[in-house]
């Protein structure tokens, strides 16, 4: 039983990273209507920047807010300069742009920092805590808390502020939003900015555990896409829950299902998703259209 709990906790810890990245992907999808394949690379870039800042001697208390602001500006800038010009050209053009961004960002990261895997020190130290029979590393606790905080803040902004209301209005019905004087362009850029900031936190938290390299977020990106599919792209909460589920499921499967082990553990969540999509194509939390004629 203890081991089961320990495995679940460990699955939740990795699941939080997927959850944050899935949230970022869902935010962009709701606003712009496209998958941002480069969302993981943005997070990797953010992790490298935080590594550089930390190496330069900055305190983590400073790095986190600086990283959030930089990422916001970066995400909004990418939307404005690279995505907006092809917006009218259809979903395939947008997908192509984000795929190009994936390759481009990856190449730039590799060019600056090299392709070797570096070990990044945990911002939270190396202590280990015990709660009854369970052990927690400081990295797991602190990283988890940071990701949860970022997702909560994001949720609060969307749920309770006029800015969040405008963002959701643009995602729901851009034409009507314009008629209320809302600048849809500004809101889309803000959406990309928030997504990049949430993703940056995911990258920062993932790096000490997974090792810092340009490939840091390659697997997490796939799992985050799966998480968003599982939870429903139209639901921010669904993306988060999907991420946690996938983290836990793949961890438990590799431990308890004979023959799966570490290499095949990725197969499990995708099998689950396949089943979910057969039964609920809109995802667990997604809305099928509720519009009355």
* 179: contact with other proteins by CB under 8 A: yes
> Contact region for other proteins (CB under 8 A) — 3-11, 103-111, 171-179, 241-249?
171-179
If the CB atoms of residues 190 and 204 are measured against other proteins, the closer one turns out to be 190
Nearest Cα residue to 42 out of 56, 54, 30, 28: 28
Token pair for 254? 């590799």
Check the CA dihedral 86-90-93-99 and report its sign.
Answer: positive
Using alpha carbons, list the distances in angstroms from residue 69 to 63, 194, 258: 10, 9, 45
Distance CA 154, CA 171 (A): 16
Stretch 84-103 residues interacting with other proteins (CB under 8 A): none
Distance CA 56, CA 36 (A): 31
Q: How far is the CB of 150 from other proteins (least distance, A)?
A: 24
* 288: contact with other proteins by CB under 8 A: no
CA angle 83, 112, 188 (to 5 degrees): 20
Question: Within a 13 Å sphere around the CA of 219, how many CA atoms are in the beta-carbon half?
Answer: 18
Q: How far is the CB of 73 from other proteins (least distance, A)?
A: 23
If the CB atoms of residues 70 and 177 are measured against other proteins, the closer one turns out to be 177
> Contact region for other proteins (CB under 8 A) — 7-15, 39-47, 91-99, 178-186?
178-186
Stretch 225-284 residues interacting with other proteins (CB under 8 A): 234
**In contact, 199 and 30? CB cutoff 8 Å:** no
If the CB atoms of residues 181 and 258 are measured against other proteins, the closer one turns out to be 181
Binding residue for other proteins (CB under 8 A) from 56, 131, 175, 262?
175
Stretch 140-169 residues interacting with other proteins (CB under 8 A): 162, 165-166, 168-169
Task: Give the CA radius of gyration of the chain.
Answer: 19
If the CB atoms of residues 48 and 158 are measured against other proteins, the closer one turns out to be 158
* 292: contact with other proteins by CB under 8 A: yes
**In contact, 107 and 100? CB cutoff 8 Å:** no
Distance CA 230, CA 22 (A): 10
Q: How far is the CB of 292 from other proteins (least distance, A)?
A: 6
Q: 162-172 and 184-210 are packed helices; what angle lies between their axes, rounded to 10 degrees?
A: 100
Stretch 193-212 residues interacting with other proteins (CB under 8 A): none
The footprint of other proteins (CB under 8 A) covers: 162, 165-166, 168-169, 171-173, 175-184, 234, 287, 289-293
């Amino acid at each position: 039983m203890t081991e089961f709990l320990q495995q679940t906790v460990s699955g939740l810890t990795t699941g939080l990273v997927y959850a944050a990245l899935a949230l970022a992907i869902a935010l962009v999808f709701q606003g712009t209507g496209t998958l941002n394949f480069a969302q993981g690379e943005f997070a990797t870039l953010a992790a490298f920047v935080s590594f550089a800042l930390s190496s330069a001697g900055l305190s983590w208390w400073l790095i986190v807010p600086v990283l959030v602001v930089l990422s916001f500006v970066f995400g909004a800038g990418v939307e404005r300069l690279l995505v907006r010009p092809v917006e009218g050209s259809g979903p395939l053009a947008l997908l192509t742009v984000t795929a190009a961004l994936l390759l481009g960002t990856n190449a730039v990261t590799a060019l600056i920092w090299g392709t070797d895997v570096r070990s990044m020190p945990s911002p939270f130290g190396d202590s280990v805590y015990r709660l009854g029979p369970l052990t927690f590393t400081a990295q797991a606790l602190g990283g988890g808390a940071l990701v949860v905080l970022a997702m909560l803040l994001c949720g609060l902004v969307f749920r309770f502020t006029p800015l969040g209301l405008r963002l959701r209005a643009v995602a729901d019905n851009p034409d009507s939003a314009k008629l209320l004087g809302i600048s849809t362009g500004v809101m889309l850029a803000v959406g990309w900015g928030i997504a990049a900031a949430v993703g940056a936190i995911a990258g920062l938290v993932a790096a000490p555990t997974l090792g810092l390299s340009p490939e840091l977020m390659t697997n997490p990106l796939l799992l985050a896409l799966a998480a968003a599919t599982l939870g429903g792209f139209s639901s921010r909460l669904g993306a988060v829950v999907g991420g946690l589920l996938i983290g836990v499921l793949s961890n438990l499967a590799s431990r308890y299902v004979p023959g799966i082990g570490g290499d095949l553990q990725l197969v499990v969540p995708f099998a689950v998703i396949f089943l979910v999509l057969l039964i609920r194509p809109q995802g667990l939390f997604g809305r099928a259209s509720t519009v009355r004629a």
